[in-house]
Every structure is written in C-alpha cells, then in structure tokens.
Chain A
Amino acid sequence: DIQLTQSPSFLSASVGDRVTITCRASQDISTYLAWYQQKAGKAPKLLIFAASTLQSGVPSRFSGSGSGTEFTLTISSLQPEDFATYYCQQLNSYPPTFGPGTKVDIK
C-alpha cells in the first residue's frame, strides 16, 4: 500500500492566518490526490481533487498544489468554520489510502 504522511499533525492558528498542510506519499502518485475536511462528529467533505481542482461549492480560500510525492493544502485566510481535521487521500493505486490527518485548532 502507498503510505501517506501529513505534517504537521496538529496546528494552532488564528482567524485570518494563512495555513499550509503538507502531505507526502511513499511513492509517485502523479496528481491523484484528494483533500477532505472533517468536523467533529461529521462525515468528511471533499475539498480538492486531482491535487489542485477545487470541488464545486468549496470556498476559493482553499487551494491545493503538488505532484509526484509532495502536496500542499493551503487556506489563505482561516475562517472560524475552518477549524477541523484535514485528510489527504491518494487514488493512484489500490487500495486508496488516507493520511493520518492534521487537526487545525484555534489559537
């Protein structure tokens, strides 16, 4: 299986901050990467697919980049509703695997 790591595991930030989360794959996954946001007690929500394509309805403050083995999710100006856990998922090889998550908390 392809392993994904995320950094940091936890970050504390303030409203208005620019936040960047990194996802690294154990092998080349081209751009077959998705990002999800999960709030406590809720199902994950798709934010970005194909590494950089914004899912319909997702605010433009979210953006994704990268290819190969290193990817980033950026929130340009953190809003109160963005405090959540973020997961990356690779879809290059079966089985599709998820990263361990990055929890974004309020400073």
Chain B
Amino acid sequence: QVQLQESGPGLVKPSETLSLTCTVSGGSISTYYWNWIRQPPGKGLEWIGYIYYGGSTNYNPSLKSRVTISVDTSKNQFSLKLSSVTAADTAVYYCARSIYYYYGLDVWGQGTTVTVSS
C-alpha cells in the first residue's frame, strides 16, 4: 500500500527557508492530490496546501506569500518550501494524500518536527 515519509532539517533559523520532502512509496505520485499539513505543539491542524499530479497548486491564503509546493515525478517525491520562517512556524509537518479532494486525506506520513530557533 502507499506510504509517505517526510524528510528534512529539524532545525531552521528565523528568516530562513524551511524545506521538506515527502517520498511516496508503494504507488505513483503521478495522480491524486499531495498535501502538506502542520500542527504546532499542543495545537490543532492547519492545511498548508496541495499539488495536483498535473502540477497545479492550491495554497492556504494565510501562508500563500511564503509557500511553494513542487513535485518531482522522477523521484516520486513532492516538496514544501516555506520562506521567512519565524517561531510561529515551529510545528510537526505532515504530508498526506487525497484521492479526491472532497474525500479527505486518506494516507499520511508519520510527520516531522521542525523547530525555528537561532
């Protein structure tokens, strides 16, 4: 079955760019919607955005000016870049799949903790 695995630095300095990658195994990335979601410590879930296999993207307006999601079909990976980070961006970051947008997020990665600190 499809599995997702996040990877990237666990510590990012303020004002720098957070970069994470999600590797998809057990299935092709060349279909469906591929999402990023985050969860600050002790808080709820926030949807960051998705990339559709064709390359189209949709971002949360609250983060849109700082977010880029891209896909590398040759590596079966998709990536998140979040620029100009502050302590408020400290969170567990999850990647997740939607087969059909309206049907929710059916497969999730285990999550990776990113701390923004100097």
Residues of A within 8 A of B (CB): 32, 34, 36, 42-46, 49-50, 53, 55, 87, 89, 91, 94-101
Contact = CB atoms under 8 A, between A and B. Distances in A.
Contacts, number: 55
Given A55-B106, A95-B60, A101-B44, 4 more contacts: A32-B102, A36-B104, A94-B58, A100-B44
Contacts of A36: 104-105
A89 B108 CA distance: 15
Given A43-B110, A96-B47, A99-B44, A91 B101 contact: yes
B44 A50 contact: no
12 contacts: A44-B105, A44-B108, A46-B104, A46-B105, A46-B106, A49-B106, A55-B104, A87-B44, A89-B105, A91-B102, A95-B60, A95-B61
Contact of B47 (A32, A42, A53, A95): A95
A53 B60 CA distance: 26
Interface string B57-88: 01111100000000000000000000000000
A42 B110 CA distance: 6
Interface string B92-118: 001010000111111011110000000
Given A95-B60, A97-B47, A99-B44, A43 B94 contact: yes
A67 to B, nearest CB: 14
Main secondary structure of the interface of A (DSSP, over half): loop
A81 to B, nearest CB: 18
B45 interface: yes
B103 A34 contact: yes
Contacts of A91: 101-104
B16 interface: no
A106 to B, nearest CB: 20
Contacts of B104: 34, 36, 46, 49, 55, 89, 91
